[in-house]
Structure 1
Amino acid sequence: MRDFHRPGRSEVMATSAMAATSMPAASLVAIETLKAGGNAADAAVAAAAVLAVIEPQSTGIGGDCFCLYAPAGGEVVALNGAGRAPGAATIDYFEAHGIDRLDEESAHAVTVPGAVSAWEKLLEAQGTMGFDEVLAPAIRMAEDGFPVHARVASDWAEMAEKLARNGAHALLPGGTSPATGDIVRHPALAATLRAIAKGGAAAFYEGAIADDMAATLRARGGLHTAEDFHDGRHAAAFVAPISLGWNGYRAWECPPPGVGLTALTMLGILERRGVAKGGPLDPLRLHRVAEAAKLAFRNRDALIGDDPAQPVPVAELTSDAHLDALAAMMDDASVLPLPPFEAELPLHRDTAYLAVTDRDGNWCSFINSLFDDFGGGLYAERSGVVFHNRGAGFRVERGHPNCIGPRKRPMHTIIPGLLTEGGVPMMAFGVTGGHFQPTGQSLLLGNVFDYGLDLQAALDLPRVFAHEGLLKLEQGIPDEAARALAAKGHRLSYPARPHGGGQAIRLDRARGVLIGASDPRRDGAAIGY
């Protein structure tokens, strides 16, 4: 039980349904959708659309989406809503133009957005409502306006220069970023959402909206055509999820080109190393998490991509033999002499994760992202679409599995997670923060199942992140733990921003109680009934 003398909040509990998102209004819309007769799929899309309006730095219809869905009594399915590179995006083109890395603010970093395709696929396969119903709350907020929350205002201010530099003046009302509590409206986005509500995903990927997006990107040097957007309508697809037995449960992730495999690898390594006895902030535990990340990300950077000629050997990489070998490489006394794993890939931090479970026992673990804050800052003014810059995750390296190519999808860092026990969903979870996400999931699950923290405390706990050759410590890591980590050879740093932000819903199966929590690093909330 938490100390009620100290600032904080308790877990949210309910018996029928629960939604946990990064904004209270989105959580409320999810619950209202459920009470109106919708299910977890309907509520997830409704909440995602609201987040696209009121948390525009993190997510939107110009981004991508992944989902794990567990229908009541059925098998877990994965939805890959990653968009693809233009048909003209050949390695020959980039080599001929002397481009060896995709600039994060370049139109080349924009793959055709996959989110709207994914939303439609999820509603058609699992939902009970149409776009006209689930998009109505988001349209209303975009037209009538919404008050800007504190974290959104902070991120918006930090990105104001990027938005101005790229001509996204509609996102800087009055020439500046909105302050906390300011009312903001998105009329162009509202009109686009109305078109989708009436005409489905086709209204986004064909016709005037698609023409506006393609023209905006071509004006910035992009290779995008109307045909690329037309084909983007069918980019999203249901795929077989990947999983790993862990601590008596089964952990589920989306398959490559997402990095859910990296999270499973970390979980497998850490389970084999055992539980450090000094608590969740024991320096030995934090050291093991950092070293497991180095080992798991080495596989990620070498093998994960969207290349049929080089399929990712998921079964081999999650085998007992491979995980045993990785765990045996770890030294509890000192750091591994491995190179920084993200040296050639951009850092990003903005994504929106949400979890929903309904009264019928359907579970949805859902994530939508622009990659970086406001993507690369590129904005289609007439349609109100903020473009993600997910393509910056491609390599421009001939022969690499993650090399950019026509209609390829880049390696994706956004990973929704799901835990089952005996085939029954027990927990939906996600921790945003770009490359941090596998580490964030490992920390969260370890906090709950290895150390017995309640769900809210598990999200609240200070975090560490092995990144760019440094071990980045949030405020709250004890000084004695930091000294012990330094003594093991870690180069420490203290970032200005916290690591990620997460949400989770857990089922107390014995008592039939749903438990929800939302990360204090964002503006969100869990709501249940």
Structure 2
Amino acid sequence: MADRPAGNPLLTRSVVHAPNGMVASSQPLASMAGLQILQQGGNAFDAAIAAAAVLAVVEPMQTGLGGDMFALLYNQKNKKVEALNGSGRAPFKSSREYYLSRGYTKMPLTGILSLTTPGTVDGWAEILEKHGTMTFAEVLQPAIEYAERGFPVSEIIAAQWKRSESLLKQNKEASECYLIEGKAPREGEVFKIPQLADTLIAIAEGGRDAFYKGKIAREIAAYVEKQGGLLSYEDLASHSSTWVKAITTNYKGYDVYQLPPNGQGVVTLSMLNMLENFDLANIKHNSSEYIHLLTEVKKLAYADRDCFIADPDFAPVPVEKMLCKEYASSRSQQIDELFPMQSAGAGFELVGDTVYLSVVDKDRNVISFINSLFTPFGSGIVAGETGVVLQNRAVGFSLEESHLNTLKPGKRTLHTIIPALVMKDEKPYFSFGVMGGDMQPQGQVQVLLNHLEYGMNVQEAGESPRFRHFEHGIALESEISSQTKLELMEKGHTLISGLDCFGGYQGILIEPKTNMLQGGSDPRKDGCAIGY
């Protein structure tokens, strides 16, 4: 590695500093598209949709029009944090009885029966209508150009695309649209998606109705029906996003915001509440003591998630209890500093692959935005000639009758994608996210502690070696010391190998004293933070 002449010699890049606006995303073409919108006079919310649309073209295994989105927004006009739930619902024709009658004991991971209604396009429209200053035609133009004229595939995206070849080959339309003679595009190869360009053009001209009620909706519905699926025109035509009240907790003077269930954002807040009961100042970063503590906290918070988080329109979700500081204190007392718990249960009984981006503009409007198909290329199904990859979010439902997250028509599943926003003294401070399924809450906590507890800058906080707890063990990045690994094993932890499982971070921090922007971007992705 090169010898950096300043700062942390182990970092791959410097913090990006800018006075006006900034975009951080997982692909440079998307970051640049958002920046161009800012320089053309658009605000953060316009730029976020432009960047998200480009990501749907250039990083199609992670995101797309057939997926879902969530966002936290801070508009200087009303000076409050707002939250948009842009997740889709189970098809009206679906039921647990339908799947059980066909021999399923759990929801299929991919295929035509793994679909839920796409929420992305409606979410984009809601943001533009409520907070934007530009039209769909303006913000979608960069994505349309890349889909029509082509784009050179970047390095990490090419490798992830390659790993999805077998899935894409299972669907004729997916193979024709996203493979070249049965192969994923190579790094640097120019790739075009004309079918998706046509769909984006239709949305640019006709807005959300073009996708949910027009020709596109009818083509999606007809294709799914022909393939034996359950998603219908009625599901698309009746879909709507939901503006919800953000949830928050205060961690040592910083107000951390998340979306409420059906997302898992409450897990991040619960972990932070428990960690307040420990003296992290006297625990070495990424030591065995540190990793053990965060792993045990994660087990407790995720146990509550798995028992209690569901669509609040269908089941009571005890968010206030899960966020209670006293509950966090009592919960943290279950942690043994020396030995890992073998299993964690819920703390009480009830009565009754992804892309992340952040944008901050010259007025310091802020959006923390996440968009996903769930697993790479979602269901593996491309709907007819639309170029739209349909997500596989239905896999998040349970087929157990008594489970809070059991499948029901029109229900939203437990959702993994979570944007984060930190406020300090009632002003936006840090907009960030760590994409990656179950990694997201534990990744967000690691990044936030890196900054708040260990003094790392916005780049260091996201670049520092991470760890991830799975049910069967802990995966550690290679820079974590051999001594730490040995000590973890001596405590009784099982260590496992992991590749491309530690999430992807993007973050923008507003420096309180100068009001300048600081951006960080994860070397685990192809992207960058860029400002002007």
Q: Give TM-score, length-normalised by structure 2.
A: 0.95
Partner Cα separation in structure 1 for residue 459 and residue 427 of structure 2: 22
The range that moved more, 456-465 or 304-313, is 304-313
Tell me, yes or no, if structure 1 residue 332 matches structure 2 residue 337: yes
- 1:71 corresponds, among 69, 72, 75, to 75
Partner Cα separation in structure 1 for residue 89 and residue 205 of structure 2: 25
- 1:462 corresponds, among 465, 473, 476, to 465
Q: How does 1:407-486 map to 2 (within 5 A)?
A: 407-486=410-489
Q: Secondary structure of the equivalent of 1:371?
A: coil
Contact 1:506 1:515 in 2 (8 A): yes
Tell me, yes or no, if structure 1 residue 28 matches structure 2 residue 35: no
* 1:267-293 deviations in Å (ceiling 9; x for gaps): 111121220535321211111111111
Partner Cα separation in structure 2 for residue 2 and residue 247 of structure 1: 30
Partner of 2:257: 252
Tell me, yes or no, if structure 1 residue 40 matches structure 2 residue 44: yes
**What is the percentage of aligned positions where both structures have the same residue?**
40
- 2:61 corresponds, among 57, 71, 80, to 57
Partner Cα separation in structure 2 for residue 71 and residue 109 of structure 1: 36
Ranges in structure 1 where 5+ consecutive residues have no aligned partner = 342-349
Partner of 2:214: 207
Partner of 2:316: 311
Partner Cα separation in structure 2 for residue 385 and residue 309 of structure 1: 29
Paired letter, 2:212: Y
Paired letter, 1:219: K
Tell me, yes or no, if structure 1 residue 196 matches structure 2 residue 203: yes
Partner of 1:374: 377
Partner Cα separation in structure 1 for residue 50 and residue 312 of structure 2: 33
Q: Secondary structure of the equivalent of 1:412?
A: coil
Q: Secondary structure of the equivalent of 1:175?
A: coil
Q: How does 1:352-367 map to 2 (within 5 A)?
A: 352-367=355-370
Partner Cα separation in structure 2 for residue 337 and residue 281 of structure 1: 22
The range that moved more, 45-54 or 485-494, is 485-494
Q: Secondary structure of the equivalent of 2:137?
A: helix
**Is the alpha carbon distance of 1:134 and 1:77 closer, same or farther for their aligned partners in structure 2, counting shifts above 3 Å?**
same
Structure 1 residue 325, shift from structure 2 partner: 1.1
Tell me, yes or no, if structure 1 residue 132 matches structure 2 residue 137: yes
Q: How does 1:152-231 map to 2 (within 5 A)?
A: 152-167=157-172, 168-170=174-176, 171-231=178-238
The range that moved more, 371-380 or 207-216, is 207-216
* 1:52-109 deviations in Å (ceiling 9; x for gaps): 0001011010100000001115110100000011111122322333322111113221
Contact 2:281 2:453 in 1 (8 A): no
The range that moved more, 214-223 or 327-336, is 214-223
Structure 1 residue 361, shift from structure 2 partner: 1.5
Paired letter, 1:312: V
The range that moved more, 365-374 or 70-79, is 70-79
Partner Cα separation in structure 2 for residue 528 and residue 86 of structure 1: 41
Q: Give TM-score, length-normalised by structure 1.
A: 0.96
Tell me, yes or no, if structure 1 residue 394 matches structure 2 residue 397: yes
**Corresponding residue pairs, total:** 519
Paired letter, 2:527: G
Structure 1 residue 454, shift from structure 2 partner: 1.2
**Is the alpha carbon distance of 1:91 and 1:401 closer, same or farther for their aligned partners in structure 2, counting shifts above 3 Å?**
same
The range that moved more, 197-206 or 468-477, is 468-477
Partner Cα separation in structure 2 for residue 202 and residue 188 of structure 1: 18
The range that moved more, 216-225 or 190-199, is 216-225
Structure 1 residue 16, shift from structure 2 partner: 1.4
* 1:377-427 deviations in Å (ceiling 9; x for gaps): 111231100111111111111132211111111100000000001210100
Contact 1:307 1:401 in 2 (8 A): no
Partner Cα separation in structure 1 for residue 520 and residue 455 of structure 2: 15
Partner Cα separation in structure 1 for residue 478 and residue 223 of structure 2: 42
Structure 1 residue 304, shift from structure 2 partner: 0.5
**Is the alpha carbon distance of 1:79 and 1:328 closer, same or farther for their aligned partners in structure 2, counting shifts above 3 Å?**
same
Contact 1:340 1:469 in 2 (8 A): no
Q: Secondary structure of the equivalent of 2:85?
A: strand
> What is the aligned-residue RMSD (CA, Å)?
1.5
* 1:199-258 deviations in Å (ceiling 9; x for gaps): 0010001222112212232233211221111112x2x11110100011111000011000
Partner of 1:346: none
Tell me, yes or no, if structure 1 residue 114 matches structure 2 residue 119: yes
Paired letter, 1:489: G
**Is the alpha carbon distance of 1:2 and 1:453 closer, same or farther for their aligned partners in structure 2, counting shifts above 3 Å?**
farther
Paired letter, 1:59: T
Partner Cα separation in structure 2 for residue 153 and residue 92 of structure 1: 40
